[in-house]
Amino acid sequence: MEKIDFIDVVDIVVKAGDGGNGAVTFRREKYIPYGGPDGGDGGDGGFVFLIADPTLSTLYHLTEKKRYIAQNGENGRKKKQSGKNGNDVILRVPVGTIVKDFETREILADLDEPGKYCCVARGGKGGKGNTHFKSATNQTPKFAEQGAKGEEKTVLLELKLLADAGLIGYPNVGKSSIISRISNAHPKIANYPFTTLVPNLGVVVVDSTSGTSFMVADVPGLIKGASEGKGLGNIFLKHVERCEVIVHVLDLSGSDGRDPLQDYYDIRKELGFFNKDLAKKPEIIVGNKCDLLSDDELQIAKSRIEDKLGKKLILVSTVTGSGLDDLKYAIWDIIRESKKLFAGTLDLSKIEFVRPEPVRITMPDRIDVKIVRNGNDEFEVVSEYVKKYMEKYRMDAKYLLDDILEMLQKSGLDEKLRRAGAKDGDTVWLEGVEFTFKE
Ligand SMILES: Nc1nc2c(ncn2[C@@H]2O[C@H](COP(=O)(O)OP(=O)(O)OP(=O)(O)O)[C@@H](O)[C@H]2O)c(=O)[nH]1
Ligand SMILES: [Mg+2]
C-alpha cells in the first residue's frame, strides 16, 4: 500500500533587532565646553530563534501572524552608560520541522530533537560611543558608531505531519463525518462502506488565541477479519501506530444492522492482531448518529455499552453537532498529558540561547577614491569608502572630515588631485563639504 506523507508548510518573515547607536556626549566640567567624551555604546539587537517543542503537533500557531520582529538594542547614553541589548524572539515549532531559506530553498536547520534550536536572524551589533574615538589628534570626537541593521529574511517551515489521534471503526459509522466537523479536513462522505480508501489528516484547533492544535487522522474502515485481509485489510493501522490516542467510533443507531457493542469487540480484536502495543494505547469510545435515537433509546444504548465495557461513552451527532466539542476536548486532554511526559526538559526560561556573532557594519577593505572635475578650478572626491564611513559613524560630515581627510591623504589624495589638474587655491568637495586645495 502507498505511503502517505502530509506536509505542513508555512512561511514567515523574521526580523532581528537593529543595534543601538553609540552616544556622542561629553563630561560636564566647569568652564570647559567639552570635558572629554563619555558617550556609551549601543546595545546589540535581539536575535530570532526557533526551537523544537515536543508539545506541538502543527505549525498552525505561526499562521496567524506573518512577521516576527525582535527588539532593537538601546542607544548608548552619557556617562559611558551602555544601551540594553534587545530581547530575542523565540518561536516554538514542532519536533521534525525543517527550516529553509524561502528564496534559495537552502536548508538552514532540521529541528529533529526536542529542545534543538537554531538562529534564523542575527541582531545588529550596537555601535561604539564616542569614548572609543578619542585620540591624540582628536580629544573631543563628535561622532560615534552607528548600530548595524539586524537581519531580515523569509523562512519556510516544513513539517511532516503525524496524527496525534486516530479514528477507527467499522465502515460507514461516520468517521470521516467527524473529522470534517472537528478539523480542517474535507474527506469524502457517503452512505456506503469503504468511502474512505486512504487516511485523511486534519488539524484540530483547540484554542485559536494561543494556536493550540493537534492532528487527527481518519483511517479507512475496519471489519471483522481485517487482519486476514478482509475489506481493505488492517494495513492502514500503521498510520495510528504513532498516535497518542485511539478514537473508536460506533454507530449507535445500528442502522447498518449491526450491534455497536459487537462492533467494538470485533475491532478491538483486529487491533490486537495488528499490534499489541496499539491495543494498549489510551482509547476514547464515541457513540455517533445520536440524532437517529430517541432520548430513551439513547440512555438505554449508552448504559448498556458503558456497563459492559466499564468505560465512558461520548455521545455525538455530526448532523446536529452535539457532543463534538466534548469529544475534541476529551481527545486533547489525553494528548496534552502524554506530551507533557516528554516535554519536561523544555522550560524556555532554563534554556540558554547562545547567540552567534551579531551583524556588523563592514568597511570595504581598501580605500577607493575617484576625482571628478566639475569645472576649471573645482574638484569632487567620490568614494564608496567614505560613504560607508559616514554611514558607520553617523555624524555631520564636518566633524568626520578631519579624520577622513587624514586617511585619504595617507592613501595619496593630494597626488591624485594634482594629477587631475588641481592647483593651489582650487575648491575640493567631499561629501558636500568644501575645502581649499593647498600645495
Ligand atoms: N443521521 C446521521 N448520519 C450520519 C452521522 N454521521 C455520519 N452520518 C452518515 O453516515 C454515512 C457514512 O458517513 P462517513 O463519514 O462517510 O462514514 P465513515 O465511517 O467515514 O465510512 P467509511 O469511510 O466507509 O469507513 C454518511 O451518509 C453520513 O452522512 C450522524 O451523526 N447522524
Ligand atoms: Mg470515511
Higher pLDDT, 226 or 285: 285
pLDDT at 199 over 60: yes
Q: Supply the pLDDT for residue 2.
A: 39
350 inside domain: no
The number of the ligand 1 atom at minimal distance from the alpha carbon of 192 is 24
Residues 266, 297, single domain; the answer is yes
Find where cell 448518529 sits: 289
Residue 196 CB less than 6 A away from ligand 1? yes
Residues 176, 50, single domain; the answer is no
User: What mean pLDDT is predicted for residues 281-296?
Assistant: 97
- Ligand 1, atom 8: closest residue by C-alpha: 174
pLDDT at 362 over 60: yes
Say which ligand is closest to the CA of 289. Answer: 1
Residue 343: band (very low, low, confident or very high) from pLDDT cuts 50, 70, 90: low
The number of the ligand 1 atom at minimal distance from the alpha carbon of 191 is 27
pLDDT at 388 over 70: yes
Of all residues in the chain, what percent are helix, strand and coil, respectively (each to 5)? 25, 25, 50
Residues 226, 305, single domain; the answer is yes
pLDDT for 77-87, tens place per residue?
999 999 999 99
Residues 246, 171, single domain; the answer is yes
pLDDT at 233 over 70: yes
Domain CATH for 384: 3.30.300.350
pLDDT at 231 over 90: no
Hey, what amino acid is at 85?
N
User: What mean pLDDT is predicted for residues 289-303?
Assistant: 96
**Which of 177, 267, 292, when mutated, tests ligand 1's pocket best, judged by the most ligand atoms within 8 Å of its CB?**
177
Report CA(188)–ligand 2 centroid distance (Å): 7
Residues 6+ apart with CB under 8 A from 267: 168, 169, 170, 222, 248
User: What mean pLDDT is predicted for residues 347-371?
Assistant: 89
- Strands annotated E in 181-278: 200-207, 212-218, 245-251
Domain CATH for 156: 2.70.210.12
pLDDT for 4-63, tens place per residue?
456 789 999 999 999 999 998 998 877 766 678 999 999 999 999 999 998 888 898 998
**Where do the H-state alpha helices sit in 183-294?**
260-274, 276-280
235 inside domain: yes
Q: Label residues 358-370 b or e (16+ Cβ within 10 Å = b).
A: bbebeeeeebebe
Report DSSP state, residue 137. Answer: S
Residue 193 CB less than 6 A away from ligand 1? yes
Q: Which range is least confidently modeled, 147-161, 175-189, 238-252, 405-419?
A: 405-419
Residues 131, 196, single domain; the answer is no
Higher pLDDT, 355 or 399: 355
Report the number of distinct structural domains present in the chain: 3
CB 160, CB 6: distance < 8 Å: yes
User: What mean pLDDT is predicted for residues 157-174?
Assistant: 93
CB 148, CB 19: distance < 8 Å: yes
Of the three residues 104, 137, 160, the one that is the final residue of a domain is 160
Which residue range is the domain that position 37 belongs to?
6-160
* DSSP three-state, residue 339: helix
> Could you give the CA distance from residue 37 to residue 394 in angstroms, rounded to a whole number?
16
| Closest C-alpha among 339, 422, 267 to residue 53 | 339
Residue 138: band (very low, low, confident or very high) from pLDDT cuts 50, 70, 90: confident
For residue 372, the surrounding DSSP H or E stretch is strand 370-375
> Could you give the CA distance from residue 222 to residue 248 in angstroms, rounded to a whole number?
11
Residue 177 CB less than 6 A away from ligand 1? yes
Separation of CA 165 from chain center: 24
For residue 381, the surrounding DSSP H or E stretch is strand 378-382
10 inside domain: yes
User: What mean pLDDT is predicted for residues 261-288?
Assistant: 94
Say which ligand is closest to the CA of 178. Answer: 1
Residue 234 CB less than 6 A away from ligand 1? no
Residue 317 CB less than 6 A away from ligand 1? yes
Residues 57, 149, single domain; the answer is yes
Residue 395: band (very low, low, confident or very high) from pLDDT cuts 50, 70, 90: low
Q: Supply the pLDDT for residue 141.
A: 84
What does the block give as the cell for 101? 531559506
Q: Supply the pLDDT for residue 177.
A: 97
Q: Supply the pLDDT for residue 430.
A: 87
Q: Supply the pLDDT for residue 303.
A: 97
Say which ligand is closest to the CA of 177. Answer: 1
Residue 396: band (very low, low, confident or very high) from pLDDT cuts 50, 70, 90: low
The number of the ligand 1 atom at minimal distance from the alpha carbon of 218 is 20
pLDDT at 278 over 80: yes
> Could you give the CA distance from residue 106 to residue 103 in angstroms, rounded to a whole number?
8
Q: Compute the residue count for the chain.
A: 439
Q: Supply the pLDDT for residue 342.
A: 62
Residues 214, 86, single domain; the answer is no
Residues 23, 151, single domain; the answer is yes
Residue 248 CB less than 6 A away from ligand 1? no
Residue 175 CB less than 6 A away from ligand 1? yes
pLDDT at 420 over 70: yes
Residue 390: band (very low, low, confident or very high) from pLDDT cuts 50, 70, 90: confident
Residue 400: band (very low, low, confident or very high) from pLDDT cuts 50, 70, 90: low
Q: Supply the pLDDT for residue 1.
A: 32
Residues 215, 304, single domain; the answer is yes
Q: What percentage of the chain has pLDDT greater than the value 70?
A: 95
Residues 141, 176, single domain; the answer is no
Residue 319 CB less than 6 A away from ligand 1? yes
Residues 6+ apart with CB under 8 A from 140: 26, 34, 36, 37, 134
